[in-house]
A and B are shown apart, each in its own frame.
Chain A
Amino acid sequence: MAAAARFLLRGAVSKASIANVNVGAQSSFGITLLRLSPNCSSKTKTQRRNAAHFTYHPDPVPTEYGPTTKMNLFQSVTSALDNTLASDPTAVIFGEDVAFGGVFRCTVGLRDKYGKDRVFNTPLCEQGIVGFGIGAAVAGATAIAEIQFADYIYPAFDQIVNEAAKYRYRSGNLFDCGNLTIRAPWGCVGHGSLYHSQSPEAFFAHCPGIKVVIPRGPVQCKGLLLSCIADQNPCIFFEPKILYRAAVEQVPTDAYTIPLSQAEVIQEGSDVTLVAWGTQIHVLREVANMAQEKLGVSCELIDLQTILPWDTETVCKSVAKTGRLLISHEAPITGGFAAEISSTVQEECFLNLEAPIARVCGYDTPFPHIFEPFYIPDKWKCFDAIKKLISY
C-alpha cells in the first residue's frame, strides 16, 4: 500500500525533496541538517508545479515564545520533534522511511542527533506501526508514529478506533496510551489523485477517545503538534502536505504549545461566519477579502484547528453574532465533519440563523487525478456560496 505511495511520491509530489536529500547527505550531517535551508521553502516552486488554489499569508510573528526562525511547515514539524526528543528521553519516532529524514523531510537530522534507537524505520505495515505505538505508550514511552500518507491510515483503523481510543476507558484507567501521537500528511496536493489527497478526519471524528488536530501553517503546526505530544490522550495530527514547503513564516525555535479543542478567530467580521481547517483556511481568507471587496460583506474567519473534541463555543458564539454560517472542507460532503458542525450550530443558534447553513465541500466521489481543479471547494465555489447566503 505505502509502496504505491513512494512510487507516486518520487514521480511527482516531491522531486525537490529527493534532490535535497542528496545535497544534504553530501554536504553535511546530523545537527546541521536541522538548520533550515532557504532554498527548500520557496513558495514559487509549488506554484510553478501547479497553479495553487490558495495563497499563503504568513501569520504575524509570535513574540511571546522567544527567538524565531523562518521555517516552512515541514521544518516546523522537525523543530517540534527536535524539542520533544531533547526534553523527553522516552520519546521515540518511527514509521516508514523516517530514519533518512522522511519522504517529506520532516525527520531530517533527528536520527543523527538522537540515535537510531529513538528515530527508526519500521517494516511497511500501518497496523503494525499504530499497534506498536500503542504498546510503547502503554509501557510509558512517548510514541510518535508516522503514517506516510493519511490515505494509508485505514489499515490501522482497527488499532486506532478499537484499541487506542478505548484503552483508558475499557481498563477503568488502569492502562492508557495517552502518550501516543500519530502524524500523517493530509489533504490535496495538486496531483495526488485517489491515494495521496485524502482528508479522512470525519472517519475519526465519530470515534470517542481520540483527538484529531489539523494546523493551517508552521506556527500552529509546531504549537499544536507539541500539544498533541504532551496531551494525555491518543492524538492524530494531520499535516497539510501542500503546505510543507509553501507555507513559510517566523516560528519560535523553543518549545511552545497551542491549546487543543480551541478554535481561533483569525479575522473578525459581522455578516457571515466562515469555518474551515488546514489549507482551506487560506482559501477562505481570500474569499473573505473578495466578499469584502466585491460584495461589501464582512466575514468572520475561524480556524477550527481541533476536529475532535471541537470548539462548539467559539463557533456558536460567532454564528450568534453574524447569523450566517459557511463551512468548507476538502473531504466529501456526505458524512463530512461540516455536517456535525452544521447540525450542532442549527441546534444551538436556531433563533439567530438568517439563512440555511452552507457547506462547500468536495463532491461525493473519490479524489480524482486530472479533475482536481474541478473537484476542490475552491475560492469561486465558496464565494458563490457567500453570495447566496447573503441574498437568501
Chain B
Amino acid sequence: MATLNSIKNMYGICSHVIRQTTGLRAAKLIQQRAFRVNGALRQQPFDSSEEKPQFPGASAEFIDHLEFIQPNVISGIPVYRVMDRAGKIINPSEDPQLSKEQVLNFYQKMTLLNTMILTVSETGDSNLDGRISFYMTNYGEEGTHIGSAAALDPRDLVFGQYREAGVLMYRGFPLDLFMAQCYANVDDLGKGRQMPVHYGSKDLNFVTISSPLATQIPQAAGAAYAAKRENTNRAVICYFGEGAASEGDAHAGFNFSATLECPLIFFCRNNGYAISTPTNEQYRGDGIAARGPGYGMMSIRVDGNDVFAVYNATKEARRRAVAENQPFLIEAMTYRIGHHSTSDDSSAYRSVDEVNYWDKQDHPISRLRHYMTARSWWSEEDERSWRKQSRKMVMEAFEKAEKRHKPHPDLMFSDVYEEMTPNLVKQKEAMWRHVQQYKEHYPLDAYAK
C-alpha cells in the first residue's frame, strides 16, 4: 500500500477510492484503514541502512528518469450514478431500497422547496417589487440537499454556504420560519439582522449561514474535532460551491481536517458556475474531487441530480467518518438552473439552450418522479393535488410573514456581545432620543413596539 502515497498514483487512488466507496465492502475497509495508518498517521521512519529515499516529507521510491506527473483531466474521476435519467436503477446492488414512504418524503421535500422558491422569487415577484430585498434559488440542486440530508443523523451539525435550504427543509424547518427570515419579521430567529436566505436553526443543528464564502469550511473542521472529542458519534457536514473551493479557507479546512482526523463530510456542489464565472476559469484540475487525495482525503464524485447516488455516498461517508475519524469529500456534479441570485441575470453569460437542457431533460425532481411513477407510487392525480397543497401551504406562510411586524429596533444593539456594553447602552439611548425627536422620518409603525 505504500506505493499509494506516490504522487504518480494520485489519480489511481481516486478511482480506487471510488470503487471501494461504491462497493462498500467490509474486506476492503480493513485495507483502507491499514493504508491510513501507514500513510497518514506515521511520518516516514528513519532508517539509513535502506537504499531508499529517507526524506521525512514523503514515503516514495527513487526513479532514475525525469518524468513530470501529468494531471488526468480528460478522463476524470467517474461520476457515481444509481438511476438513469428515466429513473431506472442501473445496478440493482446499488439500490438503497428506500421505502415508499421515504421516497415520497424525498419528493415532497424537494418539490416543496421548489414551490417555496417559485413563490418567493418569481410568481409572487416579491423580491423584485421590493417585498423581499434579495433571494437565491435552489433550482436543479434540490437532489443534493435532500439526498445528503436524509443520509445524516439529525444531530449531525450542518455548515452551509447559502444554497442548501433543502437540508433545513428535510429536517423539518417550518415554512413560517423560512419566510420570517426572508421578511426579517418578528418571528425571525435571526432577529432580522441578516439578508434573506441566511437561515440558521439551533434545534435542527444547522449553523447560521453567513455571506463570506468558504469561511465555514475550517470552522466545520473545528466543530468536527470537538465532536470527536465529545465521543458522541456525531459527524459534521460542510457544504460549499465549486467557486468557494478556490478560497484559501477551503485549503485550510481540507488540510486541517485530514491532519487532525476530523469526522467530517465535505460536500461540494459543483454546479458549473460561480455567478458568471465558468469552471474553466475557476480551476484547471479535474474538478474538486481530484483535490481530495492530495490532502490524504477519501473522495468521490456523484451525479448530483440523482438523489439516490447522493444518498448512498453521504450515508457511507458518514458511517466511515464517524467510525474512523477521517474526513470525506463528495463532489456532486449538478447544474445551477436558476440565476445566481435575484441580483443576477444569467442570460448575460450563458445560453438559454444550456439551461433548458438541465431544466427539462436532466432534473433531480423529474428523475425521482420517473422512479416513483414506474413503481406506481405517484400518479398525475397525486402530483396535481400535492402541487395545489404545497402551493397553499407556501402562500399561507408567505402572506402571514408579510403581515408581521419587523423586530423591535432595540434588537439592533443586543448580541453584539453576550452582554450589552456600557458603550452600546449609551448608543441605544442616543438613537431613541433622536428617533423620538424626528419620528416622522423613521418607519416606526412597521416595527414591534
Contacts and interface: CB of A to CB of B under 8 A. Distances in A.
Interface of A: 90, 92, 117, 120, 122-123, 125, 127-128, 130-141, 143, 155, 158-159, 162-163, 166-176, 178, 208-209, 211, 231-233, 261, 309, 312-313
A161 to B, nearest CB: 10
| Most chain A Cβ neighbours within 10 Å, of B188, B217, B229, B251 | B229
Interface stretch (B10-18, B119-127, B197-205): B197-205
Contacts of A233: 417-418
Contacts of B418: 168, 176, 178, 231-233
Given A174-B202, A209-B417, A159 B218 contact: yes
B209 to A, nearest CB: 9
B250 to A, nearest CB: 10
Interface stretch (B27-35, B253-261, B360-368): B253-261
18 contacts: A125-B251, A125-B252, A125-B255, A127-B248, A128-B249, A131-B217, A131-B219, A131-B253, A135-B223, A139-B224, A140-B226, A143-B222, A155-B248, A163-B212, A173-B191, A174-B190, A175-B207, A312-B422
Given A172-B191, A309-B423, A141 B256 contact: no
Contact of A312 (B208, B212, B423): B423
A175 B208 contact: yes
Interface of B: 157, 159, 188-191, 193-194, 198, 200-202, 207-208, 210, 212, 215, 217-227, 229-230, 236, 248-249, 251-253, 255-256, 259-260, 414-418, 421-423
Contacts of B236: 139
Contact of B221 (A90, A120, A131, A168): A131
Given A128-B253, A128-B255, A209-B416, A170 B193 contact: yes
Contact of A163 (B190, B215, B248): B215
Most central of B217, B229, B252, B256 by chain A CB within 10 Å? B252
Given A134-B218, A175-B207, 11 more contacts: A123-B255, A125-B251, A128-B218, A131-B217, A138-B219, A139-B223, A139-B224, A141-B229, A172-B190, A174-B189, A231-B418
Nearest to A311: B422
Contact of A134 (B212, B219, B255): B219
B415 A169 contact: yes
Contact of A122 (B227, B260, B416): B260
A309 to B, nearest CB: 4
Best-buried of A120, A127, A137 by chain B (most CB within 10 Å)? A127
A340 to B, nearest CB: 11
Contact of A172 (B193, B224, B229, B421): B193
A127 B256 contact: no
Given A162-B215, A174-B200, A168 B229 contact: no
